Structure 1
Amino acid sequence: MLNSLIYRARQVRDLIRRDGVASTAKMIVQRVRFGPGQWPRADIFAHFDFVSNASPLAVRGSAELGSLLWVIPDFSIGSGGHLNIFRTIFHLESMGYQSTILIVGPTVHLDAVSARRDIADHFFPLKADVVIEGGDLPAAEFAVATGWQTAYFVRRFPSSLKKIYFAQDFEPYFYPMGSEYIFAENTYHFGFFGIAAGDWLAERLERDYGMKTRAVGFGVEHDRYRPLPRREPHIKRVFFYARPPTPRRAFELGLLVLDAVHRALPSVEFVLAGWNTADYRIPFPHLDCGTVGLDELPDLYAQCDVALVLSLTNLSLLPLELMGCGCAVVSNTGANVEWLLSEEIAVLTEPTPEALSRAVCELLENDERRMALIARAEAFAKTQHWSNVAVAFEAGLQSARETSLCAA
């Protein structure tokens, strides 16, 4: 019975990752209505229809130079990947580019008006039009895939469009070795020009898949992420980026690290943010902040001395934002992290509970070392600008114009 419950819990977790909360809730209600033993059968063909669908997608009109058609999955408020997409569109608009956003596989937004409103209210005030899958699509100079599912749609656009893959992570790693791993990996053979978040990802796509790529870095919103007054400087606090439904953020490993720190330094306080962790037994005292609004994050970061941020695939944006707020960062080693972070600005160690907890404790117990690290990290964060990332992205578009690509 217990194994069955665990299996069902993992199924729900995977469905939320794949289809979103609203779609998953609708499916659960439907299955409960049907009753035990009468649940609808899983329809693999309907769910993965986009993988084998080769029907061309039509666009109207003629493309203007500097126009982009962004193909995105539907989004929820707080999505970091979508924040980066919308931020890029915002900066490109300020540089004279025109964008249209196509939402495929809608699960949250069933109409363009509500989607556009949520983008403006919770991300950026974009000029871009929004179209829901099945709507009328304008021609564009560039069609931009923003994730592996969307790459299958971009593949169906006319070959006259220059096809871009805005890759923010190595997405096959989001899945166990199986069909979805392969479906994601296959998209790297579609012949798109890759604009990749960071050197590690760009180099991997070139080396392993023969993609032509351009790397862009990360930036910091300096008006938001800046040092703020510390209200209780006598209390040592550790921040942990806790996201149980995102395996690449190593939630379980992080809890073991924090528990070891608590046993070594019982007076230290712990702050968890990123997801609601109330359903988990966490034996040490902690503040569970759940999902925190962007405007509330800087003060939260500024009240902490050390942050534990784990990245098992591509690096998270959080380290730079924490550094900008004057919080020391501990993370794991690996080329996926060290393309941006170094021992000059963060403490990097092997991803074991022993090594990571020791690194956190040493920073908490050595004020001089911690403050020196914070000063170097804050200075580095100030050099990272999103406007420069947008310039690099534009250079990637220019490279795509000049590169002869063989799209699938």
Structure 2
Amino acid sequence: MAYAKGLEIAGYECLLYLEGVGADGLARSDVQRNFGYLFEQVHYGWDDIAPADLVIATIWYSARIVRDLPFSCRKAYLVQDREALFYPVGYEALMAEQSYRYGLIPITVGYWLKTELQKRHGVQAYALNFGVDEQIYRPLDDEQREQAVCFIYQPDKPRRCARLGIDALGIVKHHAPNTKIYLYGSHKSEARNVWFSHTHMGLISPKDCNRLYNRCSVGLCLSASNPSRVPFEMAAAGLPVVELWGDSMLYDFRESMGILCEPTPESIAEGVLTILKDSDSPVGARKGRQQPSVDEVQEFVTVINHVIEGATPSVEDVLRRYSNPMIKSSPETARLPVEVTCRVNAPGNASLNRLHPVLRKLLGWGARIVRTRLLN
């Protein structure tokens, strides 16, 4: 929504079409309530899109809608993640991958996605840097740093690796029992199988997020696909970040922000413990500054100007911004008592497997019925 507001400020007339059904007045109020922006022309549904100079798809199944519009216009595609990774191998994953081949001009959030489209599909894309609103995310003089870790815990989003983060923090608590653990980013009722003492903050405002980042010594955010915006916001607040080492991070995550770890509980714990032991180390983000959010929006407006003028993205080599080696667990960190090892090694369906076979069968039958009805 910040991009759309930036276009309006730049003089563009914007019509927003939301997924779903409802009255236009409700659509406007929903956008204002959820995103804080007021737009005059907001509609529910994609069946009656008015002619425009440019139409932008924002999710894989809207790309097909934009491709098949009955009027002539420029067509772009705001690619915010590699959405095929959100699904098991099948229809949704295949169609999400296919959406990049519809001839729309891609605009990617981050440079990893740009390299993915070029490498996998031979498609050139414009790319935007991850920006931060530094009026919100910034160091605060009145907050005292604690020996604490904050983890954005979102068990409803598999790509946010909730189980991996919890297991890593359990290992941290074993080796550094005085460390405070703060979970946030989901309803408190969603905290499942958290087997150590912690504080669940629930869903908190951006300003409260910034206060939390100023209070902690390490920020933990795990993303198995395109980077979240959260690590950049943590870094802008002066909080060193621990993230997953992987191709999706190397093009956008900067070395000044923190460290990238092998995707195992022990190695992530190693990264957290490393920063906790030396909280003033330059490995963190205390001296780094991220690009302000207003610049990211301006980048988007500039790209849209190019698209309107008929320009297309050029071929370019994208350099990795992170070149440090992957953090791996030391033997000391991996040396754990049986009770911790059992927790970390327990399969995801361990609780289900402890149920009586008849009850497991009934639960499986019920889940299949619900899934079938939802899909039909």
TM-score normalized by the length of structure 1: 0.72
Report the 3-state secondary structure (helix = DSSP H, G, I; strand = E; otherwise coil) of the residue aligned with 2:222.
Answer: coil
The answer to whether the Cα contact below 8 Å between 1:101 and 1:128 also exists between their aligned partners in 2 is no
Report the equivalent of 2:302: 395
* CA contact 1:270–1:287 (8 Å) conserved in 2: yes
- Distance between the aligned counterparts of 2:142 and 2:200, measured in 1? 20
Q: Is the 8 A contact 2:138 2:210 kept in 1?
A: yes
- Alignment of 1:247 onto 2:158: yes
Counterpart of 1:257 in 2: which secondary structure? Answer: helix
> Are residues 1:91 and 2:2 paired?
no
Determine helix, strand or coil for the equivalent of 2:96. Answer: helix
Name the structure 1 match of 2:63. 151
Which of residues 189, 205, 218 is equivalent to 1:278? Answer: 189
> What secondary structure does 2:42 align onto?
strand
Name the residue aligned to 1:219: 131
Instruction: Please name the residue that 2:91 is paired with.
Output: 179
Q: 2:142, 2:31 → 1: CA distance?
A: 32
**Residue in 1 that maps onto 2:54:** 142
Indicate if the aligned counterparts of 1:274 and 1:292 stay in contact, CA closer than 8 A. yes
Question: Taking every aligned residue pair, what percent have the same amino acid on both sides?
Answer: 29
- Tell me, which stretches of 5 or more residues in structure 2 are unaligned? 314-376
Q: Which amino acid aligns with 1:392?
A: E
Separation of aligned partners in 2, 1:116 and 1:295: 24
Aligned-residue RMSD, C-alpha: 2.0
Q: Can you list the C-alpha shifts for 1:58-89, whole angstroms capped at 9, x where unaligned?
A: xxxxxxxxxxxxxxxxxxxxxxxxxxxx0111
- Secondary structure in structure 2 of the residue aligned to 1:367: coil
Q: Which runs of 5+ in 1 are unaligned?
A: 1-85
Shift of 1:202: 1.1
> For residues 312 and 244 of structure 2, what CA distance do their matches in structure 1 show?
38
1:101 aligns with 2:16: yes
Rounded Cα–Cα distance in structure 2 between residues aligned with 1:402 and 1:201: 22
Specify the alignment match of 2:293 in structure 1: 386
Partner of 1:294: 206
Aligned residues: 311
Instruction: Give the 5 Å matches for 1:14-25.
Output: none
Distance (whole Å) between structure 2 residues aligned to residue 105 and residue 289 of structure 1: 31
Q: Tell me the residue number matched to 1:162.
A: 74
Task: Determine helix, strand or coil for the equivalent of 2:266.
Answer: helix
The alpha-carbon deviation at position 121 of structure 1 amounts to 3.2
Asked whether the 8 Å contact 1:131–1:137 carries over to 2, the reply is no
Q: Secondary structure at the match of 1:307?
A: strand
Confirm or deny: 8 A CA contact 1:271 1:289 kept in the other structure.
Answer: yes
Structure 2: distance between partners of 1:102 and 1:325? 34
Q: 2:148 aligns with which of 222, 237, 256?
A: 237
Aligned mates of 1:404, 1:229 — CA distance in 2: 46
Q: 1:156: how far off?
A: 2.2
- For 2:204, the aligned partner's letter is V
Encode CA deviations 1:171-198: one digit per residue, 9 max, x unaligned: 0001111111012111111110000011
Change (3 A) 1:202 1:404: closer
Letter paired with 2:253: L
TM-score, reference length from structure 2: 0.78
Post-superposition offset of 1:136: 4.9
Please say if residues 145 and 165 of structure 1, whose CA atoms lie closer than 8 Å, have aligned partners that are also in contact: yes
